[in-house]
Amino acid sequence: MDHWQGRQAELATLAGWLQDPSVRLVGVVAAGGYGKSALAAKLLAGTPEAQAFEQTLWTSVSQPLSFGVWSREVLRLLGAGDIDASLSDQQVITLGVNFLAQRHCLVVVGYVESLLA
């Protein structure tokens, strides 16, 4: 990223969390326009901690959809294969949690509030 200025403390905090094996989930929350996506992009591009993951996936949920539908797509993109269509959303979510617990993956989700609607 060209012309990056400031937010070194936030980057250092996030990088530290990425190194901590006890940290399984990090949320960066603020109203639109505060630079959450820019901060994540800078973290992914500029820190060795972000490069240590087996897989990195950046996904954005700009349209409302169920968490189960989104989970199916994330699992497909991470290489879990096609998920049986007969599985309930809860079963897919459980499958996703188990899949991610066995791997060192970094998943960045933009507009996550769409999944919670």
**In this predicted model, what pLDDT tens digit does every residue of 82-114 receive, in sequence order?**
888 899 989 998 998 889 888 888 888 887 776
* The pLDDT of residue 86: 92
User: pLDDT tens-digit profile of 35-83?
Assistant: 888 888 888 887 787 778 888 888 888 777 777 888 888 899 888 888 8
Residue 19 has a pLDDT of 86
CA distances from 29 to 41, 52, 78, 94 (A): 15, 24, 24, 25
Task: Give backbone dihedrals phi and psi of 94, rounded to 5 degrees, phi first.
Answer: -60, -45
For 3-35, the pLDDT digits (tens) are 567 788 888 898 888 888 888 878 888 877 888
The residue assigned the tokens 């079963």 is 91
pTM metric for this prediction: 0.72
The confidence score (pLDDT) of residue 47 equals 75
Terminal CA-to-CA distance of the chain, rounded, Å? 32
